Amino acid sequence: MSGNGGAAATAEKNGSKMRVIRVGTRKSELARIQTDTVVAMLKTLHPGMQFEIIAMSTTGDKILDTALSKIGEKSLFTKELEYALERNEVDLVVHSLKDVPTVLPPGFTIGAICNTVGTSSLRRVAQLQRKFPHLEFKSIRGNLNTRLRKLYEQQEFSAIILAVAGLQRMGWQNRVGQILHPEECMYAVGQGALAVEVRAKDQDILELVSVLHDPETLLRCIAERAFLRHLEGGCSVPVAVHTMMSDGQLYLTGGVWSLDGSDSMQETMQTTIQVPVQHEDGPEDDPQLVGITARNIPRGAQLAAENLGISLASLLLDKGAKNILDVARQLNDVH
């Protein structure tokens, strides 16, 4: 594994060699749009570099006849991209943050969290079944195009639940019939955020992407991921969150549900975040928090966000959330 990104390709321009940064992504249309957005930002910030996008299929893209919660693999949409990163075939990869496990394989880190315009999910089903017991919920797999085709052309469903962020990125806002607010249905950890994963020792690339960090989104995602990791949650159990920042306070609401939504537990906590969140004295060390390396963001603010997530998870566990999650895992394995 290269420590300095020296294996990156080069290109000729005006007689001089330019480094070509190779960017890995999934092949789906939404993934390409998200990656194009990240590359466009990098081109603006680094006009002297060229970028090549390399698309590939992941395990999650190939297995379409089974609900994600039944597959049992934690890295369904990231593993193949990380293999390419490890083999030096790409220099960075772009993920939807919600697809990235809270513990990364050794040698990798999330070098940037971006905020862009921004079901088969147990989390959604559990919450909505509790509020709308008269509705029947069924699993649906595939990319956005496939899911919408099942709704409109094949008419397999009366309605489908999707993330607004994905529809907005595709330019399909007009297809949204109703937006579910947090009090109706909270979202997945990291929903709507983009993660740029790099080799942890590749300092050049880490420095290159670190300017993409959106400070508020970063801190919200650190809190959310710390909450999920301390609960030992994942796609096999219904765990959802909602975060917001207001007047120097970071608010985190988190909840757990039984598979049928009949049992649930939800709490809210907050912590003070010192402003400005953008570091003014230069970068600090690069120890990861929940898989994220955030340069130029004060360490104290990051730790406060992480502690908020851990504290909220501990509160729910003390109140009996572990039993709800254990039963949900067992039932999901059986059915």
Longest dimension (CA), the chain: 68
Task: Count the Cβ atoms, other than its own, within 10 Å of residue 253.
Answer: 19
Determine the pLDDT at residue 123. Answer: 66
Alpha carbons 223 and 312: distance in angstroms, whole number: 9
Q: What is the pLDDT of residue 8?
A: 52
CA-CA-CA-CA torsion for 143, 146, 152, 156, nearest 10 degrees?
A: -100
Per-residue pLDDT in tens (0 to 9) along the chain, 335 residues: 333 444 456 655 555 567 799 999 998 888 898 999 999 999 999 988 999 999 998 765 555 555 555 445 566 678 899 999 999 999 999 999 988 999 999 999 999 998 763 344 666 777 777 777 777 777 786 778 888 888 888 888 888 888 888 888 888 888 888 888 887 888 889 988 999 999 999 999 999 999 999 999 999 999 999 999 999 866 667 899 999 999 999 999 999 988 888 899 999 999 999 755 555 554 455 589 999 999 788 999 999 999 999 999 999 999 999 999 998 888 877 65
Hey, how many other C-beta atoms are within 10 angstroms of the C-beta on 286? 15
Q: How far apart are CA 26 and CA 161, in angstroms?
A: 22
Beta strands in 177-262 (DSSP E): 193-199, 239-246, 249-257
How confident is the model at residue 5, as a pLDDT? Answer: 42
Tell me the three state secondary structure of residue 62: helix
- DSSP tag of 99: G
Task: Report yes or no: 256 and 243 within 8 Å, Cβ to Cβ.
Answer: no
Nearest to 167 by CA among 187, 147, 139, 197: 147
Q: Is the pTM of this model over 0.75?
A: yes
Q: What percent of the chain has pLDDT over 90?
A: 47
CATH architecture observed for domain 20-99:
3-Layer(aba) Sandwich (3.40)
- Which residue type, as a one-letter code, is found at position 197? E
**Of 67, 64, 70, 96, residue with least CA distance to 81:** 96
Amino acid, single-letter form, for residue 123? R
How far is the C-alpha of 168 from the C-alpha of 170, rounded, in Å?
5
For position 74, what pLDDT does the model report? 61
- The ranges assigned to domains in the chain are 20-99, 118-175, 203-333
Assess contact for 219 and 250: CB atoms under 8 A. Answer: yes
* Helices and strands counted in the chain (H then E): 11, 9
- Nearest Cα to Cα of residue 211 among 67, 32, 44, 1: 44
The pLDDT, as a whole number, for residue 268 is 97
Best CA proximity match to 162, nearest among 182, 176, 146: 176
Written out in words, the top-level CATH class of the domain with range 203-333 is: alpha beta
- Identical fold between 20-99 and 203-333: no
Catalytic residues: 99
